[in-house]
Amino acid sequence: MHQQGYPPDHNMSAPIVDLPLTSPSGIALWGGLECTVARIGDIFRNQLQETGHADRIEDLDAIAQLGIRTLRYPVLWETISPEHPDQADWHWHDARLARLRALDIAPIAGLVHHGSGPRYTSLLDPRFPEMLAEHAARVAGRYPWITQFTPVNEPLTTARFSGLYGHWYPHGRSQAIFLQTLVTQCRAIVLSMRAIRRITPGAQLVQTEDLGKTFSTPGLAYQADYENQRRWLAFDLLCARVDRQHPWYRAFIEAGIDDRTLGFFQENACLPDIIGINHYLTSERFLDERRELYPENHHAQNDRQTYADVEAVRIDFDTACTGPQARLQEAWDRYGLPMAVTEAHHGCSRDEQLRWLMEVWQAAQALQAKGVDIRAVTIWSLFGCVDWNTLLTAQNNFYESGVFDARCQPPRPTALAAAGRALATTGKFDHPVLDQKGWWHRAERYYQAPAGPAGLRHGTPRRIAIAGATGTLGQAFARLCGERGLDYELLARGDMDITDAASIEAALARHRPWAVVNAAGYVRVNQAEQEAARCFRENATGAELLARACARLGIPYMTFSSDLVFDGSLGRAYVESDLVCPTGIYGSSKAAAERLVAQAWPEALVIRTSAFFGPWDRYNFVHGVLQDLTAGRKVEASGQVLVSPTYVPDLVHGALDLLIDGASGVWHLANQGLVSWHELALQAARAARIDTSALVCTDQGTACVTALTSERGLILPPLDEAIERYVRDAARLQRTG
């Protein structure tokens, strides 16, 4: 039930606090939360609910601890008046905006964020602009201390996704609908700012837009020119630049948008006080008529020809000037208005997220040094986002972590939080992963690798030392560190014997790593009962000696433990705080290792995991089952022993992210799902489309549950997704050798 709002002066008129505007570098660090409320058919998706911020007012205190003093924050029409424009519920916003004031954080109030308004309107509703202006007036009246507004976020991008590509409501697929939805939003911005300034005369418009650029082969230059003119339309309308000489004037007229409508913008120029540029790695495109060179999902067409539309960073071409600095410079050259980067986010591994943030930050610094009036960089998606890999059109619960990892309760600060705190307070940040450039600069980015030698490395990058060169886990770390641009040394026993303190000291002195990963140890669980001394020496003593060496050097250390530190009698999956209770020698050696490592180096990271399977080795249960079933051999698997299988690539990626984040203590990393060995075999065979008639379930004995779950955060994806990826990855490797 939505109630009438309190009077506008309800506890909301405290004195305005002067806030620091910039870091010592001259660029301010702003923050932002992914807050889209998108309508898809009759379903509204709310990112604040999906990332959990809607229920966590304490998130604001965590943001304040980063040193952020300006925050893009939602005061969204769809959430305040969802059923009727005259019915408003301000309760949630009152509490949070009051908390922001107490924390000395100035909000940039967003009124519509990739939305089409509440259910009773749409982007094709001629009343939409006036109704949003009424909402804007209510917001300004209720919170007169707010001085910066974004009435509509990214109107051009929203018009493309809602009116041209059909992704979001009203699901249009024509240029006419695209232009109509764009004009509706821009008119709403003008009227909203007029309404706000009647109450707050000095209110500023912070107008955001994703500003990419399109490049092409010569044969598609006409299409690239068309898209490059289109990308400026929102700012051109607001800046009263769309007249009869504008290259898109005729397109507006043909879309049924007459001179009177366009004249409104000529007569009511609404120049942004700050142009907010949102730039992503996918924002810049390259068009190529040779579709066969590119994946099918990048195939596109216009009314003249078919072509591929791909990320420009994946193409080797000489004439392009790509990247955030080039796009910001273009906006400055065109408008000459103050600017900010209003979203800096990259949905990738933690190292790549850090590299992208720093590239954007350094671009802003370089432009400011040249005299460009650029005020801030906004570290975006503070609490991550959900399903943006499908533009919200599929509900897969695909989570991209941000500055905080909202899979943990409370949300866990990642390495981006350390970066944000440093940039906000000193304007500088360093981390060993920044010794390498992001994947968008490395040779592996290309769809077709250019001829000639790869680019040379400069300097001596800091490295991770990985112990365990011959094992499944060590090999996987080396492979994925290489893919992520993380420099490493993969050390065999001859390079560093982890059971020998002198060997460890010599190896660390020689390689000078910034972190150590212990992927070595005794792994033969069944033989451990006959080789107890060796098992303890390699699993417990070795792990402890490495921990002591890392403690002396003050460097991060990660080691691995097992689900077998538990006896399986609890009857449920184990969490990190459950008391260890091993029954065998192997589990006892891992339990001893955990205790000794914690004593030797309290900042160490201990990963408990379970039941490896992966595409790069043949010595795992899933591979063996599929091989035997394919050959028609009988396979017996227990239906009583319940485990949490772990896909090795997921484990390594999750562990590396935690290492980079500076996480410590015991973490459980296993794919989400509790299955018996028989059920695991059945799921894998079905995913691989292999006959399961030779698979036999053995149900003898008492049920035993050694599965792992986590009270700290479910970092790895669900098991069924991991099995599907294993089948695809293994098949691809078999084809390519």
Residues labelled catalytic: 586
Q: Give phi and psi for 404, each to the nearest 5.
A: -120, 145
DSSP 708: B
| 3-state DSSP of 265-314 | HHHCCCCCCEEEEECCCCCCEEEECCHHHCCHHHEEECCCCEEEEEEHHH
Residue 532, token pair as written in the block: 């107890």
* Burial readout 98-114 (b: 16 or more C-beta within 10 A, e: otherwise): ebbbebebbbbbbbbbb
Name every residue whose Cβ is closer than 8 Å to that of residue 463 and which is 6 or more positions away in sequence: 432, 487, 488, 489, 511, 512, 513, 514
CA 93 to chain centroid, in Å, comes to 26
Tokens for 190, please give them.
Answer: 């003008």
Sign of the dihedral defined by the CA atoms of residues 25, 28, 33, 35, in that order: negative
Residue 218 gets which letter from DSSP? G
- Closest by CA to 32, choosing from 310, 276, 374, is 276
Closest CA to 68 of 59, 77, 81: 59
Return d(Cα 208, Cα 670) in angstroms, integer. Answer: 40
Whole-number Å distance between alpha carbons of 125 and 116: 10
For the chain, the residue count is 737
The Cα–Cα gap between 711 and 729 comes to 30
What tokens appear for 373 in the block?
């009036």
Q: What is the chain's percent helix, strand, coil content, to nearest 5?
A: 40, 20, 40
CA dihedral over 119, 121, 123, 124, signed as positive or negative = positive
| R_g of the chain computed on alpha carbons | 28
Amino acid at 170: P
Burial 301-335 (b: 16+ CB within 10 A, else e): eeeeeebbbbbbbbbeeeebebbbbebbbbbbeeb
Q: Please tell me the distance from the alpha carbon of residue 8 to that of residue 534, in angstroms, as a whole number.
A: 74
> Residue 634: left if φ>0, alpha if ψ -120 to 50, beta else—which one?
beta
Distance CA 609, CA 561 (A): 6
By C-alpha distance, which of 505, 513, 372 is closest to 432? 513
Tokens of 292: 């066969």
- The bridge status of strand 399-400 relative to strand 385-386 is antiparallel
